[in-house]
Amino acid sequence: PKIMALWKSKRGAFVGWNAVDPGPHGVCSASALSFSQAKDKRPQVMHWDFVSADLDQFKLGLLAKDFSTPDFGWTLPLARSDYKLMVVLQPPVPEAEMEESLRWSLGSMLDFPVAEACIDWLPIPTREQMPQRPPHIYAVAAKKQVIFERTAPFLNAKRPLRAVDIRETAQRDIA
């Protein structure tokens, strides 16, 4: 899964997201219309709900039926304990080789085998402000098993995820 798998409508504009966030006390869900689609050019919450239950295929199906917007993509933010976020030097490789290069770089920084990791990255835009500084990136690593466990209810309920997000980028996207 990619950190930023942006979903677009057939017209090319961002439509919106159905977000589900399971926590220790229940499941929060919200549907938000993208700023580009809203009348006042601000994101607009279409539906929201909190259910004091664990997220499973059945609960997700009910949320999808009662509180989601059908044309929106689904997203799930991972809990902070589900991933590790690191700032590392950007490897001098083509983008297509970045993930494999990061596997070599991050192996010693993880507390689990790198072969069991889902890895993604996001550039840090500092080149214009600090051209003398070598480029850095945010690298994200999560155990494949954790990703599978978090995404299984969506697969079982036939609600395909468009993005598995992390807290830091989800907050940035809202801002």
Mean pLDDT calculated for residue range 168-173: 73
How sure is the predictor about 172, in pLDDT bands with cuts at 50, 70 and 90? low
Q: Give the separation between CA 168 and CA 175, rounded to whole angstroms.
A: 11
| pLDDT 10s digits, 50-98 | 888 788 877 787 777 777 777 788 889 999 999 999 999 999 999 999 9
In this structure, are residues 23 and 119 in contact, taking their beta carbons and an 8 Å threshold? no
How sure is the predictor about 4, in pLDDT bands with cuts at 50, 70 and 90? very low
Q: For the chain, what percent of residues have pLDDT higher than 90?
A: 37
Looking at this protein, which amino acid is placed at residue 58? Answer: F
pLDDT at 37: 58
- Comparing CA positions, the residue from 41, 48, 53, 3 lying closest to residue 166 is 3
The mean-pLDDT minimum among 20-29, 31-40, 53-62, 132-141 falls in 31-40
The mean-pLDDT minimum among 66-75, 94-103, 121-130 falls in 66-75
pTM, 2 dp: 0.78
CA 6 from centroid of its chain's CA atoms: 10
Classify residue 104 by burial, with Cβ atoms within 10 Å: 0-12, 13-18, 19+. Answer: exposed
pLDDT at 26: 87
pLDDT at 6: 41
Q: Give the separation between CA 76 and CA 126, rounded to whole angstroms.
A: 28
**Backbone phi, then psi, for 149, in 5-degree steps?**
-65, -40
pLDDT at 85: 95
pLDDT at 2: 46
How sure is the predictor about 125, in pLDDT bands with cuts at 50, 70 and 90? confident
The mean-pLDDT minimum among 3-12, 26-35, 65-74, 88-97 falls in 3-12
